[in-house]
Structure 1
Amino acid sequence: MAWRSCAVLLRLSGEDVLRSSARGGRWPHNFQQRCGFRKAAKKPESKKVEEELVAPHTESSEATLHRRTPAPHVEQHQAPPRGPRAFSRLLRPLVFTVGFTGCSFGSAAIWQYESLKSRVQSYFDEIRADWLEKLRPQKQGDVRKEINQWWNSLSEGQRTVTGIIAANAVVFCCWRVPSLQRSMIKYFTSNPASKAQCSPMLLSTFSHFSFFHMAANMYVLWSFSSSAVSMLGREQFIAVYLSAGVVSSFFSYVCKTATGRFGPSLGASGAIMAVLAAVCTKMPEAKLAIIFLPMFTFTAANALKVIVAMDTAGVVMGWKFFDHAAHLGGALFGIWYIMFGHELIWKNREPFVKLWHDLRTGGGSGGGGADGGGGGGAV
């Protein structure tokens, strides 16, 4: 089956790296203008204040100067630490990465359990809805019905990633609101030198400043969603996607700290690289093609090798156009999960689900096995 999604296979629309112009943490002037930041013009000092400045330093003159011209509060930006102290700042992101990954897969296991329990009831509800639909008079031009028909025509994978695409679109619109710029830079760009280190590791996965960057990433996610969800299952796919976003951000943190090249990054490319790498690892003989050159096809295994090689070269040589470390971290996570992670994490979820079943039913007996039923997405 030929894939026509890979406008990104050779350049997976990497995470935009918004580089700061100095180690003091200041943003480039053109970025400040785009984000609505302006440097306040200096007010001319009065002649009287100038006379007081050159006057002898008596207690009264100093008190008068302090009372008339209070010193403005200037936020001091210290250069990021280096050496062992710099790597000690990665302890919190490491704990957050491990904890968030565990919570993601635990929540996915509970979500699958609840979905299996409600499947029988949903089956009878659908039969009843179909029966009522036949009795109900048909409406011409019913917009809601057309939307339902379109939604039902989508694959399970496409329906799964629709929410992810919508979240990215909302965050993209928030970047256009001037009053939100400071909050967006603080929480929706990941930077190991920032005070907010942990939450941006996840939030930056849904953040795009450029429309082309977002469109390319979402197109690839949409194209690979059907195969990825059919391979992993809806719940496991969401856990892998979110975990890959955090893992790729942590990989970027480590690389930036090791090289001393700090700067904020954003984009879903790290998580999407994990999805792409997982599909290519599981189906290495699948045929892929570049969207604008559909006549040239290549295997998924070869495409994955080229992508990993390019991102590795970008990390070693210090290329700054993309966040190659995040790309590489996402790809390695996707490969690792298909080869080892599924057996290590997902297939050992039954004790956790049984514990949840006992808590939910008050310790009653009954089937609570995690591996029974569909939706598990065995790899």
Structure 2
Amino acid sequence: MNIINDLKLQYRIGGMTTKLIFWNIILFVIPALVFGMLKLFKIDIDYHNYIALSNNYATLLVKPWTLISYSFFHIGFFHLLFNVLVLNFVGKLFTTFFTQKQLLSLYLLGGILGGILYIISYTFLPLLANENALLIGASGSIMAILVATATYQPEMEVRLLFLGSIKLVYLAIGLFLLDLINLSIENTGGHLAHIGGALFGFVYIKSIQNGTDLGSGLTSFLDWCVTLFSPRKAKPFKKVHRNPKTSISSKPQSKIVVKDKAQQQIDEILDKISKSGYDSLTTAEKEFLFQAGK
């Protein structure tokens, strides 16, 4: 139970990079366990057909969610491990300069644009036209984040194992060229998604530098969704019933002044309750109101 509580705490206090890593791991582990157990009962369900992106645009019309879901699932442990390690690296670099919400919108839009390029390429390129393939993995989204960060801070140096210090822009260009070189050799769909994500990451930063955030609409939509499904907080009562003020009687002036001050303090406390609720009162104010009520 301590491990579960620690993981919950890490998720709660972690940034968007941590949350994305959690989502990717959870969406790999749970289906693997569930459908792996079903195989023991000779129930073999290939859930990848429901979450992976097909190269056939007609399938996308039937399963539109796959344009997003494919970038949160992985086909094997090492596929997942490599992607979350790179995501942890580039996500923290990106949020050094941009917000957590911008990271999420870039992750989603990078995956979407990578998926669109993948479908278009399989539809119109003669080499790929007759193939049936499925795309799965977060690589396109991660490539978008890497290229976006490199576009914004090209001179930043990062230290890599076996390579030492290298400028971020050279790392991004090197990976982009590797995708182009391997495009017709192996994992064509994956490389197409990388290229689409990289191109969007570049355009995303250039648009921000020109004063336009391409992810602002998606961010607003996600905020609306969160507000729609989150429980509404109880609002403090606003209508306050006050006793009508009594007319000033012919009593000594000193008593009238004392009464006016007391009434004024009561009015101020009631106004505070109407704006912020009873719990906003101090102990002294609550005691005064109690005595005045008596």
Tell me whether the two structures share a fold, i.e. TM-score over 0.5: yes
Q: Residue 74 of structure 2 corresponds to which residue in structure 1?
A: 208
2:31 maps to 1:164 = no
| Counterpart selection for 1:328 from 185, 190, 195 | 195
Q: Residue 282 of structure 1 corresponds to which residue in structure 2?
A: 152
Q: Residue 185 of structure 1 corresponds to which residue in structure 2?
A: 48
1:284 Cα offset (Å): 1.1
Cα contact 1:248–1:326 (8 A) shared by 2: yes
Q: TM-score, normalised by structure 2?
A: 0.60
2:103 maps to 1:237 = yes
Query: What SS does structure 2 have at the residue aligned with 1:165?
Result: helix
Q: Give the Cα separation in 2 of the matches to 1:195 and 1:347.
A: 27
Structure 1 segment 58-137 matched on structure 2, within 5 A = none
| Counterpart selection for 1:304 from 143, 164, 172 | 172
Q: Give the Cα separation in 2 of the matches to 1:143 and 1:200.
A: 35
Letter in 2 for 1:299: K
Higher helix fraction (1 or 2): 2
Letter in 1 for 2:207: F
Residues 113-158 of structure 1 show CA distances to partners (whole Å, capped at 9, x for unaligned) of xxxxxxxxxxxxxxxxxxxxxxxxxxxxx94898389639976354
Q: TM-score, normalised by structure 1?
A: 0.48
Cα contact 2:140–2:198 (8 A) shared by 1: yes
Q: Residue 141 of structure 2 corresponds to which residue in structure 1?
A: 271
Identity across the alignment (%): 19
User: Larger RCO: Structure 1 or Structure 2 (Cα < 8 Å, ≥ 6 residues apart)?
Assistant: 1
Cα contact 2:150–2:172 (8 A) shared by 1: yes
1:238 Cα offset (Å): 0.9
Q: Which moved more, 1:242-251 or 1:319-328?
A: 319-328
Letter in 2 for 1:156: G
Query: What SS does structure 1 have at the residue aligned with 2:97?
Result: helix
Q: Give the Cα separation in 1 of the matches to 2:216 and 2:137.
A: 32
Letter in 2 for 1:221: L
Compared CA separation, residues 145 and 321, structure 1 to 2 (3 A): closer
Query: What SS does structure 2 have at the residue aligned with 1:281?
Result: helix
Q: Which moved more, 1:333-342 or 1:142-151?
A: 142-151
Compared CA separation, residues 148 and 338, structure 1 to 2 (3 A): same
Q: How many residues align?
A: 208
Q: Residue 151 of structure 1 corresponds to which residue in structure 2?
A: 10
Mind listing any 5+ residue stretches in structure 1 that lack a counterpart? 1-141, 361-379
Please tell me whether Structure 1 or Structure 2 has the larger radius of gyration of its CA atoms. 2
Q: Give the Cα separation in 2 of the matches to 1:348 and 1:149.
A: 29
Letter in 1 for 2:150: C
Q: Give the Cα separation in 2 of the matches to 1:347 and 1:239.
A: 5
Compared CA separation, residues 175 and 336, structure 1 to 2 (3 A): farther
